[in-house]
């Protein structure tokens, strides 16, 4: 591995001023499960590695009636082992408990999974359908960005050089709502998604109709994709296999996958249809509805 300096700022102010002042390449270290491996292969060679785990704001996990705030450095395992969070946001748990094995889950952070911006990242579609906002800060101020706009391409994101992803804000779940994440991998775990999908639905009080929906798919384009058209197609429609099928078809159309060693275009298109269907089924069930 190349040589680098290592810093552990104790406050968000100290961290932001380091980012503001640094002229050579910097990488932020939270879980390190991507960064350390990337540095070892020489894929990235920062001059400074800033360990963000001492910063309080990045370690918060706050559930209230206003929703959920997840600090960017909070690990997947911390999230899925919190029973209250697990009950309130099961779709997040679907994804967080599937990343790597248990050793990776103990380190890999929610923010890191987002910032790494892998097209196949499992958390991102789940965060998208849960309407998560990325809370971004630099030494001059802060802004919020919907997660669906955060990734700009494979491995690239919307953060400027001096900006920091502080946390993710998830609104509270509406009445009669439910969400679910599904992915497909050849092995049952320890694998990268060939395709993945998340769905969130809000049902009418009687559970018979879709009030609204959100559908996101991953590993089938340069970034995870929010499929607005599929969601719109469900609005006001009866909760039925036919409705689900139409949405899944639209999602399939929206997918623009590539052939690579993990799967083919045709397979991924098929998987999008299957996974969106299964994610919707799960979401409907969690919303108290039935097909």
Structure tokens at 259: 């052939």
Residue 218 is a binding residue for another protein (CB under 8 A) = no
Q: Which of 171, 264, 288, 291 binds another protein (CB under 8 A)?
A: 264
Q: Which of residues 138-177 bind another protein (CB under 8 A)?
A: none
∠ Cα 157 280 291 (to 5°): 170
Size of the site for another protein (CB under 8 A): 45
Site stretch for another protein (CB under 8 A), options 140-148, 167-175, 184-192, 233-241 = 184-192
Residue 111 makes contact with another protein by CB under 8 A? no
Q: Least Å distance between CB 75 and another protein? A: 8
Interface pick for another protein out of 192, 203, 244, 279 (rule CB under 8 A): 192
What is the pattern of x (binds another protein, CB under 8 A) and - over residues 32-61? xx--xx-xxx-------x-x-x--------
- Shortest CB 14 distance to another protein, Å: 17
Residues that bind another protein (CB under 8 A): 1-6, 29, 31-33, 36-37, 39-41, 49, 51, 53, 75, 77, 100-104, 106-107, 184, 186-192, 194, 261-264, 266-267, 270-271, 274
């Amino acid at each position: 591995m190349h040589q680098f300096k290592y810093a552990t700022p104790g406050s968000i102010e100290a961290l932001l001023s380091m980012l503001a002042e640094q002229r050579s390449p910097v990488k932020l270290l939270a879980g390190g499960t991507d960064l350390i491996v990337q540095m070892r292969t020489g894929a990235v060679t920062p001059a400074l590695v800033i360990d963000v785990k001492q910063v309080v704001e990045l370690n918060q996990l706050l559930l209230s009636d206003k929703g959920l705030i997840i600090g960017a450095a909070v690990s997947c395992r911390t999230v899925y082992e919190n029973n209250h969070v697990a009950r309130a946001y099961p779709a997040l748990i679907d994804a967080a408990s599937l990343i790597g094995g248990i050793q990776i889950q103990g380190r890999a952070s929610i923010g890191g999974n987002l910032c790494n911006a892998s097209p196949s990242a499992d958390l991102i579609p789940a965060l998208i359908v849960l309407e998560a906002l990325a809370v971004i800060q630099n030494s001059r101020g802060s802004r919020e960005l919907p997660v669906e706009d955060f990734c700009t391409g494979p491995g690239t994101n919307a953060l400027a050089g001096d900006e920091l992803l502080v946390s993710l804000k998830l609104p509270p779940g509406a009445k009669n709502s439910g969400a679910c994440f599904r992915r497909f991998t050849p092995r049952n775990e320890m694998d990268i998604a060939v395709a993945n999908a998340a769905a969130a639905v809000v049902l009418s009080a009687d559970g018979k109709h879709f009030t609204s929906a959100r559908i996101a798919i991953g590993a089938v384009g340069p970034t995870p994709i929010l499929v607005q058209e599929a969601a719109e197609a469900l609005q006001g429609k009866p909760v039925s296999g036919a409705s689900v099928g139409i949405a899944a078809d639209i999602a399939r159309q929206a997918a623009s996958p590539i052939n690579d060693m993990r799967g083919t275009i045709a397979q991924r298109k098929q998987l999008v249809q299957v996974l969106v269907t299964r994610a919707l089924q799960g979401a409907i069930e969690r919303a108290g509805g039935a097909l």
